[in-house]
RNA sequence: GCGGGGAUUGCCGAGUGGUCAAAGGCGCUGGACUUAGGAUCCAGUCCUUAGUGGUUCGGGAGUUCGAAUCUCCCUCCCCGCACCA
């Protein structure tokens, strides 16, 4: 037995050896070959802004297993790889490194440290990251090496990055077609915006953006007219509560602006003026004023036309929406708390000369009926949660959330809400806003859901961009085509199809240009600095694999890549002579590209992680239908779930990362591949646990030991193997056949379970049962089945299989060897059933031995009378689909000459069958076959039970030894036992 | 909230109408090997019992000869919801 660490060292050694050979002989480079069916698989090209980890490895590992399997099943497989670098991430790496952000440096030192030991060199490399290109270069080369180190059978001669100038031409061409088809539209759109950069910001750009999850919120700004006619604009998420407004709150000490906005006079906070100016308004500041100047004035409530006063409140946040709030104490906890505070606050009343009388007259106005609450939900909840004052923000927040939810979903508008009475709050909310907007008493105001700041320090607000370009995924024709494409696609696992459909349904306009990040310049606004957003770089890029090598090898210049050329290659448009004329590219090269595309496309299989479903994958389907003829649309999408470690998603902040670059040393490649593929089904989150890896390691080692013990055994054909050997061979065959069927359906897990683990177990079993057999036979058998296993399991553990294949004297690459079809004969099935029968029988004996606690000297095995098999067979036929009935059984038996003589026994038997109708619904062996099986395992039974004598009795025979009358109790597949 | 996916025996996790008391692993228990082992190997692991019995698959109701598997209701958990790739 070899010690574990040595075992891993051994296999790591030849893992490297084989990777080098594969690489040198370029055996995975895709070549056109019309004699074989092609199979083009893609797994998303990596985003080259950081190191990859085990979670990524899961996705790529599955892709590689599928690729290798198809390759070994006669397909000409094309499995290329490229690099995504466009968008903001690579740029923001450079940016943070350039700014000497300590956290970024730390992160990137870690990443680089995966590949480099010397701290000085690490710093040097990280230092180069100030140039985005260096980031992309570093990570594309290290990740590629990681992939090759994991034995991935990729074609690395098709590499490109999405930032390459020739690729930019390709994307430009794509947008030309989208524009031609009117899938690009223009409009205004609210986005998160940094006031400092004057730029759109995403989660990456916001400080703690991943935690804050800042979104655009849409408020309704309601115009409360002052007597002067100027509108005090209060922003709300709940316009329906306008009927319960009792007063307006304003921050007395803050600065407000009176502004002329789109021809109207408004008063809003100073901050709001700035924000509104970014939201498609023309604004002129008329004057500045302090909040307290408005206190005690009256405003008119829209719709009801009531006059309500303006009161001071310190809780008003002028940097939130408009800095003006209308008070609905019946339904808004904050308002209620503030009102009570104010009514009891003599100092403030005095300071601002409030009229005590009218203030104390203010009482909540209820306008929503909601189950589980009385007249004034806010009042109730404040009391319940023990709110003392407006300063109890935590309780107030909770109360607000609760009421919002309860009222929104189960509230009904009361009689005092005019036209809206009886409406559900859910509906009234929009209806009231709509009515207000119609009479120009309300307008939409956007605000960020959280107060947040850009990494540059600037505040994040919501801006409305005009003339923003969108991809119109809502276009009915486009959508329809996408649905049509989806319908004809295979989705694995099928359960995700629904998610695609839902995504397609809600997909609508999506902004497609940005001012920041790397990428292709937007062709419709050349020179204005607009970049095509980066997801558009990753939706039809698979087609570029088919031509990129020709472009690079022949030094074709980006400017030669005219749209007409792409049309010619990808859409079969135009004449070759015209393209030669236009681009100056030779006919040979043009046709090489066109042939390559037409040979490899469509993308037969795309495997990816689930996170891409609602965006990348959906867009990929959309863009394919827009750009390519139908025969080139994607065929299959396969999805796998995420990977966890210690119950959490792998992430730097969690400290649970296993870097992809560390896998070969930490475990071994084949070990990792095996375990990744087999520990969970693709649609469940995989939890990586070291102690479970250990199991895989042990089994792998065991397999290795079995295999290496027989690599030198020469094959001899020996017809007359003993029973256990025959059982082993057919069970291995059966397992492998099952395994192949599994992986044909892209079920890698069961492929490993059936093809590997079950077979190792079968060999274990054989070793025990076959101890008494001649060594020569055992070794020959072992050698034969090991050969079968390495041929089939190669897609998962290619290195070990390759090595064993060589050691067994085969000069060909195992990775290119065909996995043969396996034919299971009737005889094989019989052996399998016999083995199962024996396992049950031995278990029964063991159970009894355990219970009686004495070692038997004799084991009598009684095999059922053959007529019982007949009886069961008949029962199976009659009661296939209905309840067992004794009378029906007996009637059927009466007609049967073989059975009619046992009527009395059958009656007993029928009672048992009545009691447990499953006993006859089984696969059976005849009495003879049962006997044969027991004979085959006799030696083993004797050995297992300490040399007990094994005596087999057939119930059909006369004068058998049966002191306890057991023979009649024997059932098919369930012999009766007597231990003495 | 909307949409999707789930809930299985101590834990993880298979299983989608009949050998299902339910694969496999982990953990635990016992044994072997060993100076020792938290290394490795073997065995056991719902309760009961000379095996063919009982109670289980989130809770409740139903369909069926038969349900972990199908239907309905309830409770709880996870994921996505766009300008981030």
In this predicted complex, what is the ipTM? 0.92
Phi-psi region of A262 (alpha: psi -120 to 50; beta: other; left: phi over 0): left
Q: What does the pLDDT read at residue A5?
A: 66
Residues sharing a CB contact under 8 Å with residue A192, sequence separation 6 or more, in sequence order: A200, A201, A202, A206, A214, A215, A216, A448, A460, A461, A462, A463
Distance CA A912, CA A919 (A): 8
The CA-based angle A478-A480-A483, given to 5 degrees, is 110
Short-list A599, A567, A571, A565, CA closest to A583: A565
* Cα-to-chain-centroid distance, residue A411: 38
Point out the nucleotide closest to A840 (alpha carbon to C1′).
B19
Encoded tokens for A285: 């500041």
Distance CA A680, CA A675 (A): 9
Q: Is A745 exposed, middle or buried (0-12, 13-18, 19+ CB in 10 A)?
A: exposed
Short-list A129, A127, A133, A124, CA closest to A161: A133
Point out the nucleotide closest to A846 (alpha carbon to C1′).
B51
The edge-to-edge listing of strands for the beta sheet with A184-194 is A199-200, A184-194, A460-472, A509-511
Q: Which ranges of chain A have pLDDT less than 50?
A: 1
SS3 of A370, please? strand
DSSP A778-835: HHHHHHHHHHHHHHHHTTTSHHHHHHHHHHTT--S-GGGSPPPP----HHHHHHHHHH
List the A3 CA – B37 C1' distance (angstroms): 15
Residue bearing tokens 């100027």: A230
The CA-based angle A491-A493-A497, given to 5 degrees, is 50
User: Pairing between strand A247-250 and A324-327?
Assistant: antiparallel
List the A511 CA – B30 C1' distance (angstroms): 67
Distance CA A641, CA A686 (A): 7
Q: Is A498 exposed, middle or buried (0-12, 13-18, 19+ CB in 10 A)?
A: exposed
Model pTM score: 0.87
Distance CA A472, CA A467 (A): 14
List the A411 CA – B74 C1' distance (angstroms): 23
With b meaning 16 or more CB within 10 Å and e meaning fewer, what string describes A65-96?
A: bbbbbbbbbebbbbbbbbbbbbbbbbbbbbbb
Q: Does an H or E element contain A490, and which?
A: strand A490-492
Point out the nucleotide closest to A205 (alpha carbon to C1′).
B84
| pLDDT tens track for A122-148 | 999 999 999 999 999 999 999 999 999
Short-list A379, A398, A297, CA closest to A338: A379
Distance CA A183, CA A86 (A): 22
Point out the nucleotide closest to A191 (alpha carbon to C1′).
B83
User: Pairing between strand A231-236 and A264-269?
Assistant: parallel
Contact A191, A202 (CB under 8 A): no
List the A733 CA – B28 C1' distance (angstroms): 35
> Which of the nucleotides in strand B have any atom less than 7 Å away from a protein CB atom?
1, 3-6, 12-15, 18-19, 23-27, 39-44, 49-53, 65-66, 78-85
Residues sharing a CB contact under 8 Å with residue A555, sequence separation 6 or more, in sequence order: none
The CA-based angle A497-A501-A504, given to 5 degrees, is 135
Distance CA A66, CA A152 (A): 11
Report which residue is nearest nucleotide B17 when distances run from CA to C1'. Answer: A881
DSSP A186-236: EEEEEEEEETTTTEE--GGGBTTHHHH---EEEEEEEEEEETTS-EEEEEE
Phi-psi region of A470 (alpha: psi -120 to 50; beta: other; left: phi over 0): beta
Phi and psi at A661, nearest 5°, equal -65, -20
Q: What does the pLDDT read at residue A4?
A: 60
Distance CA A658, CA A689 (A): 12
Residue A718: CB atoms within 10 Å: 12
Short-list A183, A31, A178, A184, CA closest to A628: A178
Encoded tokens for A290: 């302090």
List the A723 CA – B52 C1' distance (angstroms): 28
SS3 of A766, please? helix
Residue A586: CB atoms within 10 Å: 12
List the A136 CA – B68 C1' distance (angstroms): 50
Distance CA A418, CA A483 (A): 44
Distance CA A743, CA A416 (A): 67
Point out the nucleotide closest to A614 (alpha carbon to C1′).
B80
Distance CA A244, CA A240 (A): 9
Distance CA A934, CA A950 (A): 9
């Amino acid at each position: 037995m070899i010690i574990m660490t040595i075992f891993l060292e051994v296999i790591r050694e030849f893992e490297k050896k084989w990777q080098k050979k594969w690489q040198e002989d370029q055996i995975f480079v895709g070549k056109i070959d019309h004699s074989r069916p092609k199979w083009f698989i893609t797994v998303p090209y990596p985003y080259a802004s950081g190191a990859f980890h085990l979670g990524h490895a899961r996705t790529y590992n599955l892709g590689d297993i599928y690729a290798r399997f198809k390759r070994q099943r006669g397909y000409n497989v094309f499995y290329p790889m490229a690099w995504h670098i466009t968008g903001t991430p690579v740029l923001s790496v450079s940016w943070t490194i350039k700014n000497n952000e300590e956290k970024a440096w730390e992160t990137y030192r870690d990443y680089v440290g995966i590949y480099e030991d010397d701290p000085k060199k690490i710093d040097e490399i990280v230092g180069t990251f100030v140039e985005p290109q260096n980031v992309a270069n570093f990570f594309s080369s290290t990740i590629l090496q990681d992939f090759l180190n994991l034995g991935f059978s990729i074609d690395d001669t098709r590499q490109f990055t999405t930032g390459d100038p020739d690729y930019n031409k390709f994307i430009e061409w794509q947008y030309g077609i989208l524009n031609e088809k009117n899938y690009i539209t223009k409009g205004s759109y609210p986005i998160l915006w940094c006031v400092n950069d004057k730029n759109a910001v995403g989660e990456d750009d916001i400080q703690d953006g991943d935690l804050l999850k800042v979104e655009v919120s849409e408020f309704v700004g309601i115009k409360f007219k002052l007597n002067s006619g100027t509108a005090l604009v209060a922003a709300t998420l709940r316009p329906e509560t306008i009927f319960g407004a009792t007063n307006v709150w304003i921050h007395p000490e803050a600065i407000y602006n009176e502004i002329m906005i789109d021809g109207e006079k408004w008063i809003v906070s100073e901050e709001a003026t700035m924000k509104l100016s970014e939201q498609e308004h023309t604004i002129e500041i008329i004057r500045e004023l302090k909040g307290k100047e408005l206190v005690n004035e009256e405003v008119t409530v829209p719709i009801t036309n009531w006059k309500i006063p303006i009161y001071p409140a310190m809780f008003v946040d002028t940097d939130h929406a408009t800095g003006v709030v209308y008070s609905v104490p019946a339904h808004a906890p904050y308002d209620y708390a503030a009102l009570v505070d104010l009514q009891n606050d003599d100092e403030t009343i005095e300071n601002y000369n409030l009229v005590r009388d009218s203030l104390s007259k203010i009482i909540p106005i209820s306008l929503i009926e909601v189950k589980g609450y009385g007249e004034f939900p806010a009042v109730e909840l404040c009391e319940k949660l023990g709110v003392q004052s407006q300063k109890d923000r935590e309780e107030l927040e909770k109360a607000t959330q609760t009421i919002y939810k309860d009222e929104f979903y189960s509230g009904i508008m009361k009689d005092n809400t005019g036209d809206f009475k009886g409406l559900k709050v859910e509906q009234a909310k929009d209806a009231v806003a709509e009515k207000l907007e119609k009479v120009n008493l309300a307008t939409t105001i956007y605000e960020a859901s959280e107060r947040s700041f850009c990494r540059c320090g600037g505040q994040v607000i919501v801006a409305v961009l005009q003339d923003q370009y969108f991809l119109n995924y809502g276009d009915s024709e486009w959508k329809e085509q996408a649905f049509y494409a989806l319908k004809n696609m295979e989705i694995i696992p099928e359960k995700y199809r629904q998610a695609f459909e839902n995504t397609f349904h809600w997909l609508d306009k999506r902004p497609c240009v940005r001012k920041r990040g790397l990428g292709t310049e937007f062709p419709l606004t050349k020179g204005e600095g607009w970049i095509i957003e980066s997801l558009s770089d990753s939706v039809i890029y698979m087609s570029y694999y088919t031509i990129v090598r020709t472009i690079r090898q022949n030094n074709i210049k980006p400017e030669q890549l005219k749209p007409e050329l792409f049309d010619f290659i990808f859409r079969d448009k135009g004449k070759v002579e015209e393209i030669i004329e236009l681009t100056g590219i030779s006919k040979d090269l043009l046709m090489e590209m066109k042939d390559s595309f037409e040979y490899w496309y469509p993308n037969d299989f795309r495997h990816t992680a689930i996170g891409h479903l609602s965006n990348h994958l959906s867009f990929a389907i959309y863009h394919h239908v827009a750009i390519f003829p139908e025969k080139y649309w994607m065929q299959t999408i396969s999805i796998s779930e995420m990977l966890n470690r210690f119950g959490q998603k792998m992430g730097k902040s969690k400290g649970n990362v296993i870097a992809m670059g560390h896998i070969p040393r930490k475990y071994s490649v084949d070990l990792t591949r095996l375990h990744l593929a087999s520990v969970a089904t693709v649609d469940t989150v995989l939890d990586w646990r070291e102690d479970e890896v250990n199991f895989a390691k042990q089994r792998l080692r065991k397999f290795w030991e079995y295999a290496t013990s027989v690599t030198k055994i020469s094959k001899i054909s020996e017809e007359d193997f003993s029973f256990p050997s025959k059982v082993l061979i057919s069970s291995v065959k059966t397992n492998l056949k099952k395994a192949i069927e599994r992986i044909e359906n892209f079920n890698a897990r069961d492929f490993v379970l059936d093809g590997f683990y079950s077979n190792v177990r079968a060999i274990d079993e054989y070793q025990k049962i076959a101890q008494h057999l001649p060594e020569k036979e055992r070794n020959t058998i072992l050698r034969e089945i090991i050969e079968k296993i390495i041929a089939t399991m190669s897609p998962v553990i290619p290195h070990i299989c390759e090595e064993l294949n060589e050691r067994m004297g085969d000069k060909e690459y195992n990775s290119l060897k065909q996995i043969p079809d396996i034919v299971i004969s009737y005889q094989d099935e019989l052996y399998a059933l016999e083995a199962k029968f024996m396992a049950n029988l031995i278990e029964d004996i063991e159970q009894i031995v355990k219970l009686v606690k004495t070692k038997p000297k004799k084991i009598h095995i009684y095999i059922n009378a053959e007529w019982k098999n007949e009886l069961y067979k008949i029962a199976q036929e009659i009661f296939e689909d209905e309840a067992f009935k004794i009378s029906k059984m007996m009637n059927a038996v009466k007609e049967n000459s073989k059975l009619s003589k046992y009527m009395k026994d059958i009656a007993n038997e029928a009672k048992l069958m009545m009691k447990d109708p499953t006993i006859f619904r089984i696969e059976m062996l005849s009495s003879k076959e049962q006997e044969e099986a027991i004979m085959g395992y006799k030696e083993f039974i004797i050995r297992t039970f300490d040399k007990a004598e094994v005596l087999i009795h057939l119930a059909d025979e006369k004068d058998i030894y049966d002191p306890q009358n057991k023979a009649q109790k024997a059932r098919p597949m369930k012999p009766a036992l007597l231990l003495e």
